[in-house]
Chains A and B, each alone.
Chain A
Amino acid sequence: MMAVATEQPAADLREPAGWRRTKNRVATVLMWVAFVCTLVPLGFVLVTVIAKGASAISWQFLTKGPIPPNVLPVTIGGMGPAVVGTLEITGFAALIAIPLGVLGAVYINEYGGNRALARLIGFMADVMTGVPSIVMGLFIFTIWVLHFGYSGLAGSFALGCLMLPVVIRSSYEMLRLVPDSLREASYAVGATKARVTVTVVLPAAIGGIVSGALLAIARAAGETAPLLFTILVVESTNTNLFSGPNTALATQIFINAQQPFTGAQQRAWGAALTLIAIAFILMLAARIVTARFTRYTR
């Protein structure tokens, strides 16, 4: 039995006024619509690249060269030189940028403390992520190419400059998450700061650092503008990174996209599919590393 006071009306706890509910629903619907809007272009691009590029892809396409300006069928020649170029140039860029970036983050987080210099460097690294890639290309042109000529190395420098601030930022975030108690425990047994950092802190953060690096590499592999001014796009393989012009997938796509010839365009689609595949694989690898190997997450 319930203690119901009979003089009072039962409380009406139904839905609030209609217009409030409608506003809420409309807002939610709009948010979902926005989400769909972002997926639509993605879907179109992927579908188109796969559809148009698949027919061009073959082992020969990926490994043989040279790259003809416009010849049909597509199976004559291939993007081999560009694939080699992309791997070389991006690989070397990663080799320079990642260690330097991690060390830079180590400085800011482990040695910098609250000092103005550390804060300035961190701030400027963030600002540097916003520098347009074309400016990096021009920079390397003026400072290196003018003196030493075009080469894959110059391209690596340009890409490295793009990757550096990104690696610093992501590594810094990872280092920050490593709890101080780990460091203190290591100091307590008499280790030097360098040893603490290298043997305890870095391994603890390694998962996040690696995944951040992979993402930076993925971004660099797709960059075109910096390479335009540094490697002087050519059509044949150049395995010598340090001398002579080179080529890469991204630049090839750029050039071929502007040709009116179907043969060239076909090759562009094929190269695009290859490039996207590379980027996706790197991104996937980054996610796997994050999932399996990161110990400390936000």
Chain B
Amino acid sequence: MSSVTQADPAKQAGSASPLTRRRPLGDRGFQILALASGLLVLVILVLIAVSTTQQSTDWFSKAGVKGIFSTDWDPATNHFGAMAFVYGTVITSVIAIIIAVPVSVAVALLLTEVVPRRWARPIVYLIDLLAVVPSVVWGLWGILVFAPWIQSSVYSHIASAVNGIPLLGSLFGPPVSGASFFTAGIILAVMITPIVTSLSREVIATVPVIDKEGAYALGATRWEMIRGAVWPHSQNGVVGAVLLGLGRAMGETIAAALVIGSSATVTSRLFATGYSMPAVIANQFPEAAGEWRAALIGMGVLLFALTIIVNLAARGIVERSTRRMRGA
């Protein structure tokens, strides 16, 4: 942050000089305007927390902690247990991270260490195109094209192959559906790749050139140099990038809503249909009223809290570890 150490010349002159008066109104006004705009951020965040919590007290108070985390979600009988959705959110996000992180870090390394400078920019543009495709289009393609294909070409084969095997069977066995946890995980992975890649790239690019030269000077191959000089420096930053990707994946609504299958079940079978918090809110909100609506808004509160925590943790981790490695 640039701090203009120059004292305000208008103020400096003080009351002694007849040439200056108090700070002109326009100057002061502008500063207040800028400050107000900045404060808007804080105000909005607080308002979000307050107003959504307020609207969901119906649910929080009636259901209680046990009720909130029960797996029974049945609006018809006024049961609003959110466990199935929390589960779905977590599972799909984890799948997304497992798929996206190795790929994103690999691409980030590719861009900073392998590809000559000239080609890096067009490649970055291509990756950014992934981010420009709107979420709803990913969902549209996902449900109408990708899901049917992957169900018949991939899931069914895997499921019949592992059916019965202890661990694999319970993860990848039947029932099988194109719209499922796993498919949602894949689509989410594709969507968070640009942000994890770009953040990782920023982190990796800060490794001092002199460290890399030091490794090369010892006769290291490029891969050995990356492991020895680049990775230790960027470890923590990459963890931060991963957490930020996780936050994005958890909050991603529309693509997930379209391909997750919309059935509130808790199961270990990843190829089965499921549900997630953002998805159920998007799908059921228009018809919801009363406690039902309060429950949906309440899940929005949970989502808000979760993503804030993950974001704060991401920055905290990066902060603390970079300080440690400096040898302080």
Q: Residues of A with Cβ closer than 8 Å to B? A: 16, 20-21, 23-24, 27-28, 30-35, 37-39, 41-42, 44-46, 48-49, 100-101, 103-104, 106-114, 118-128, 130-136, 138-139, 141-143, 146, 161, 164-165, 168, 175-176, 180, 183-184, 187, 190, 192-195, 197-198, 218, 221-225, 228-229, 232, 250, 253-254, 257-258, 265, 268-269, 272, 275-276, 279-280, 283, 287
User: Which one of B6, B39, B41 has the greatest number of beta carbons of chain A within 10 Å?
Assistant: B41
Q: Which one of B2, B26, B223, B258 lies within 8 Å of A257 (CB-CB)? A: B258
Subset of 6 A-B contacts with CB under 8 Å: A45-B141, A103-B33, A107-B31, A110-B34, A118-B1, A128-B45
- Does B162 reach chain A (CB closer than 8 Å)? no
**Could you tell me the distance in whole angstroms from the C-beta of A205 to the nearest C-beta in chain B?**
12
**Could you tell me the distance in whole angstroms from the C-beta of A229 to the nearest C-beta in chain B?**
6
Q: Please name the residue on chain A nearest to B296 by beta carbon.
A: A138
Among listed B50-58, B63-71, B74-82, B266-274, interface-contacting one: B50-58
**How distant is the Cα of A229 from the Cα of B222 in the complex, in angstroms?**
52
A39 — which chain B residues lie within 8 A by C-beta? 126
- Does B8 reach chain A (CB closer than 8 Å)? yes
**Could you tell me the distance in whole angstroms from the C-beta of B291 to the nearest C-beta in chain A?**
15
Q: Please name the residue on chain A nearest to B304 by beta carbon.
A: A135
Q: Tell me if B41 and A164 are in contact (CB < 8 A).
A: yes
A114 — which chain B residues lie within 8 A by C-beta? 1, 3
Q: Tell me if B51 and A121 are in contact (CB < 8 A).
A: no
B123 — which chain A residues lie within 8 A by C-beta? 35
Q: Please name the residue on chain B nearest to A30 by beta carbon.
A: B106
Q: Tell me if A132 and B33 are in contact (CB < 8 A).
A: no
Q: Tell me if B140 and A268 are in contact (CB < 8 A).
A: yes
- Does B193 reach chain A (CB closer than 8 Å)? yes
User: Which one of B133, B136, B219 has the greatest number of beta carbons of chain A within 10 Å?
Assistant: B136
Q: Tell me if B251 and A131 are in contact (CB < 8 A).
A: yes
A193 — which chain B residues lie within 8 A by C-beta? 8, 27, 30-31
**How distant is the Cα of A184 from the Cα of B5 in the complex, in angstroms?**
10
- The 9 A-B residue pairs whose C-beta atoms are closest, nearest first, are A222-B134, A132-B251, A34-B106, A194-B30, A103-B37, A107-B34, A107-B38, A192-B27, A104-B37
**How distant is the Cα of A42 from the Cα of B103 in the complex, in angstroms?**
15
12 further contact pairs, Cβ within 8 A, besides A34-B104, A228-B282, A250-B136: A28-B222, A38-B127, A130-B247, A135-B304, A138-B52, A139-B44, A139-B51, A180-B4, A198-B30, A253-B136, A283-B132, A287-B125
**How distant is the Cα of A170 from the Cα of B295 in the complex, in angstroms?**
36
- Does B60 reach chain A (CB closer than 8 Å)? no
Q: Tell me if A276 and B1 are in contact (CB < 8 A).
A: no
**Could you tell me the distance in whole angstroms from the C-beta of B219 to the nearest C-beta in chain A?**
7
Q: List B residues 272-302 near A (Cβ within 8 Å).
A: 278, 281-282, 285-286, 297, 300
User: Which one of A35, A37, A120, A126 has the greatest number of beta carbons of chain B within 10 Å?
Assistant: A35
Q: Tell me if A131 and B221 are in contact (CB < 8 A).
A: no
Given contacts A104-B37, A108-B1, A125-B41, contact A222 B141 (CB under 8 A): no
**How distant is the Cα of A44 from the Cα of B41 in the complex, in angstroms?**
38
- Does B114 reach chain A (CB closer than 8 Å)? yes
Q: List B residues 1-28 near A (Cβ within 8 Å).
A: 1-4, 6, 8-10, 23-24, 26-27
A253 — which chain B residues lie within 8 A by C-beta? 136-137, 140
**How distant is the Cα of A195 from the Cα of B9 in the complex, in angstroms?**
13
Q: Tell me if A127 and B254 are in contact (CB < 8 A).
A: no
Q: List B residues 228-243 near A (Cβ within 8 Å).
A: none
Q: Please name the residue on chain B nearest to A161 by beta carbon.
A: B44
User: Which one of A16, A108, A122 has the greatest number of beta carbons of chain B within 10 Å?
Assistant: A108
Q: Tell me if A224 and B254 are in contact (CB < 8 A).
A: yes
- Does B42 reach chain A (CB closer than 8 Å)? yes
Q: Tell me if A118 and B141 are in contact (CB < 8 A).
A: no
- Does B35 reach chain A (CB closer than 8 Å)? yes
Q: Tell me if B221 and A23 are in contact (CB < 8 A).
A: yes
Q: Tell me if A113 and B110 are in contact (CB < 8 A).
A: no
A258 — which chain B residues lie within 8 A by C-beta? 143, 258
Q: Please name the residue on chain A nearest to B7 by beta carbon.
A: A187
Q: Tell me if A106 and B258 are in contact (CB < 8 A).
A: no
**Could you tell me the distance in whole angstroms from the C-beta of B139 to the nearest C-beta in chain A?**
6
- Does B107 reach chain A (CB closer than 8 Å)? yes
- Does B86 reach chain A (CB closer than 8 Å)? no
- Does B204 reach chain A (CB closer than 8 Å)? no
**Could you tell me the distance in whole angstroms from the C-beta of B50 to the nearest C-beta in chain A?**
9
Q: Which one of A35, A120, A180, A194 lies within 8 Å of B26 (CB-CB)? A: A194
**Could you tell me the distance in whole angstroms from the C-beta of A249 to the nearest C-beta in chain B?**
9
Q: Which one of B30, B132, B141 lies within 8 Å of A49 (CB-CB)? A: B141
B190 — which chain A residues lie within 8 A by C-beta? 38, 41
Among listed B151-159, B164-172, B305-313, interface-contacting one: B305-313
Q: Tell me if A34 and B103 are in contact (CB < 8 A).
A: yes
User: Which one of B2, B281, B310 has the greatest number of beta carbons of chain A within 10 Å?
Assistant: B2
Q: Tell me if B107 and A35 are in contact (CB < 8 A).
A: yes
**How distant is the Cα of A158 from the Cα of B103 in the complex, in angstroms?**
33
**How distant is the Cα of A20 from the Cα of B247 in the complex, in angstroms?**
38
Q: Tell me if B39 and A121 are in contact (CB < 8 A).
A: yes
Q: Please name the residue on chain B nearest to A103 by beta carbon.
A: B37
